Chains A and B, each alone.
Chain A
Amino acid sequence: MKVIVCIKQVPDTKGGVKFNPDGTLDRGAMLAIMNPDDKAGLEAALRLKDQYGAEVTVLTMGLPKASDVLREALAMGADKGILVTDRVLGGADTWATSSTIAGAIRNLEYDLIITGRQAIDGDTAQVGPQIAEHLNIPVISYAQEIKIDGDKVIVKRQYDDRYHMLEAKMPCLITALSELNDPRYMTPGGIFDAVQADITTWGRADLKDVDDANLGLAGSPTKIAKASDKVRKGAGEKVVPDTPEDAVKYIVGKLDEKHVI
Chain B
Amino acid sequence: MDFTLPKEHEMARQLFKDFAENEVKPLAQEVDQEHRFPRETVEKMAKYGFMGIPVPKEYGGQGCDTLTYAMCVEELSKVCGTTGVIVSAHTSLCIDPILTFGSEEQKQKYVVPLAKGEKLGAFGLTEPGAGTDAQGQQTKAVLDGDEWVLNGSKCFITNGKEADVYVIFAVTGKVEKRGRMMKEISAFIVEKGTPGFTFGTKENKMGICGSATYELIFTDCRIPKDNLLGQQGKGFNIAMHTLDGGRIGIAAQALGLAGGALETTINYVKERKQFGKAIGGFQNTQFQLADMATKVEAAKMLVYKAARKKDEYKKDPKVSYSVEAAMAKLCAAEVAMEVTTKAVQLHGGYGYIKEYDVERMMRDAKITEIYEGTSEVQRMVISAALLK
List the interface of chain A (C-beta within 8 A of B).
71-72, 75, 184-192, 194-195
**Smallest CB separation, B40 vs chain A (Å):** 15
**What would 15 A/B residue contacts be, using CB atoms closer than 8 Å?**
A75-B11, A186-B15, A186-B48, A187-B48, A187-B49, A188-B15, A188-B48, A188-B49, A188-B68, A189-B49, A189-B61, A189-B64, A191-B8, A195-B6, A195-B7
Known: A185-B18, A185-B19. A192 touches B62 (CB 8 A): yes
Question: Considering the chains assembled together, what is the distance between the CA atoms of A145 and B93 in angstroms?
Answer: 44
Bits for B5-21, please: 1 = Cβ < 8 Å to A, else 0: 01110011001001100
Residue of A with least CB distance to B50: A188
Q: Does B53 sit within 8 A of A, measured CB to CB? A: yes
**Smallest CB separation, B59 vs chain A (Å):** 12
Residue of B with least CB distance to A195: B8
Known interface pairs A191-B64, A195-B11; 9 further A-B residue pairs with C-beta atoms within 8 A, sorted by A's residue number = A75-B15, A187-B49, A188-B62, A189-B61, A189-B64, A190-B49, A191-B11, A195-B6, A195-B7
Question: Considering the chains assembled together, what is the distance between the CA atoms of A188 and B53 in angstroms?
Answer: 7
**Smallest CB separation, A99 vs chain B (Å):** 32
Question: Considering the chains assembled together, what is the distance between the CA atoms of A190 and B8 in angstroms?
Answer: 10
Q: Does B272 sit within 8 A of A, measured CB to CB? A: no
B64 touches A188 (CB 8 A): yes
Question: Considering the chains assembled together, what is the distance between the CA atoms of A19 and B50 in angstroms?
Answer: 39
Contacts of A190 in B (CB 8 A): 49
**Smallest CB separation, B51 vs chain A (Å):** 11
Question: Considering the chains assembled together, what is the distance between the CA atoms of A192 and B9 in angstroms?
Answer: 8
Known: A185-B48, A187-B48, A187-B49. A192 touches B15 (CB 8 A): no
Question: Considering the chains assembled together, what is the distance between the CA atoms of A195 and B12 in angstroms?
Answer: 11
**Smallest CB separation, B345 vs chain A (Å):** 29
Question: Considering the chains assembled together, what is the distance between the CA atoms of A186 and B7 in angstroms?
Answer: 14
Contacts of A188 in B (CB 8 A): 12, 15, 48-50, 53, 62, 64, 68, 72
Question: Considering the chains assembled together, what is the distance between the CA atoms of A187 and B46 in angstroms?
Answer: 10
Question: Considering the chains assembled together, what is the distance between the CA atoms of A115 and B39 in angstroms?
Answer: 36
Lowest 6 CB-CB distances: which A-B pairs, in order?
A: A189-B62, A187-B49, A195-B8, A188-B62, A191-B11, A188-B64
B15 touches A185 (CB 8 A): yes
Contacts of B61 in A (CB 8 A): 189
Question: Considering the chains assembled together, what is the distance between the CA atoms of A197 and B320 in angstroms?
Answer: 33
Q: Does B57 sit within 8 A of A, measured CB to CB? A: yes
Question: Considering the chains assembled together, what is the distance between the CA atoms of A75 and B9 in angstroms?
Answer: 13
Known: A71-B11, A185-B48, A187-B48. A192 touches B18 (CB 8 A): no
Q: Does B63 sit within 8 A of A, measured CB to CB? A: yes
CB contacts under 8 Å to A, within B44-82, are 48-50, 53, 57, 61-64, 68, 72
Secondary structure dominating the interface of B: helix
Residue of B with least CB distance to A187: B49
Contacts of B18 in A (CB 8 A): 185
Residue of A with least CB distance to B13: A191
Question: Considering the chains assembled together, what is the distance between the CA atoms of A203 and B131 in angstroms?
Answer: 65
A72 touches B49 (CB 8 A): no
Question: Considering the chains assembled together, what is the distance between the CA atoms of A188 and B69 in angstroms?
Answer: 9
Contacts of B48 in A (CB 8 A): 184-188
Residue of B with least CB distance to A75: B11
Question: Considering the chains assembled together, what is the distance between the CA atoms of A5 and B53 in angstroms?
Answer: 29
**Smallest CB separation, A64 vs chain B (Å):** 14
B11 touches A187 (CB 8 A): no
Question: Considering the chains assembled together, what is the distance between the CA atoms of A192 and B63 in angstroms?
Answer: 8
Contacts of B72 in A (CB 8 A): 188
Residue of B with least CB distance to A71: B11
Question: Considering the chains assembled together, what is the distance between the CA atoms of A18 and B199 in angstroms?
Answer: 58
Residue of A with least CB distance to B72: A188
Question: Considering the chains assembled together, what is the distance between the CA atoms of A149 and B105 in angstroms?
Answer: 44
B11 touches A186 (CB 8 A): yes
Residue of A with least CB distance to B8: A195
**Smallest CB separation, A32 vs chain B (Å):** 11
Question: Considering the chains assembled together, what is the distance between the CA atoms of A186 and B48 in angstroms?
Answer: 7
Known: A195-B7, A195-B8. A189 touches B57 (CB 8 A): yes
A192 touches B8 (CB 8 A): yes
Question: Considering the chains assembled together, what is the distance between the CA atoms of A56 and B7 in angstroms?
Answer: 23
**Smallest CB separation, A247 vs chain B (Å):** 37
**Smallest CB separation, A30 vs chain B (Å):** 15
Residue of A with least CB distance to B19: A185
Residue of B with least CB distance to A31: B14
Contacts of A72 in B (CB 8 A): 11
Residue of A with least CB distance to B54: A188
**Smallest CB separation, B282 vs chain A (Å):** 26
Residue of B with least CB distance to A182: B22
Contacts of A185 in B (CB 8 A): 15, 18-19, 48
Question: Considering the chains assembled together, what is the distance between the CA atoms of A186 and B64 in angstroms?
Answer: 14
Bits for B227-247, please: 1 = Cβ < 8 Å to A, else 0: 000000000000000000000
Contacts of B63 in A (CB 8 A): 189, 192
Residue of B with least CB distance to A191: B11
**Smallest CB separation, B323 vs chain A (Å):** 27
Q: Which single member of B12, B19, B50 contacts A191 (CB below 8 Å)? A: B12
> Which of A72, A190, A191 has its CB near the most chain B CB atoms (within 10 A)?
A191
Question: Considering the chains assembled together, what is the distance between the CA atoms of A189 and B58 in angstroms?
Answer: 12
Question: Considering the chains assembled together, what is the distance between the CA atoms of A34 and B15 in angstroms?
Answer: 13
> Which of B8, B57, B72 has its CB near the most chain A CB atoms (within 10 A)?
B8
Contacts of A192 in B (CB 8 A): 8, 62-64, 68
Contacts of B12 in A (CB 8 A): 188, 191
Residue of A with least CB distance to B9: A191
Question: Considering the chains assembled together, what is the distance between the CA atoms of A189 and B56 in angstroms?
Answer: 10
Contacts of A187 in B (CB 8 A): 15, 48-49, 62
Question: Considering the chains assembled together, what is the distance between the CA atoms of A71 and B8 in angstroms?
Answer: 10
Contacts of B49 in A (CB 8 A): 187-190
Contacts of A191 in B (CB 8 A): 8, 11-12, 15, 64
Question: Considering the chains assembled together, what is the distance between the CA atoms of A185 and B44 in angstroms?
Answer: 10
Question: Considering the chains assembled together, what is the distance between the CA atoms of A75 and B18 in angstroms?
Answer: 15
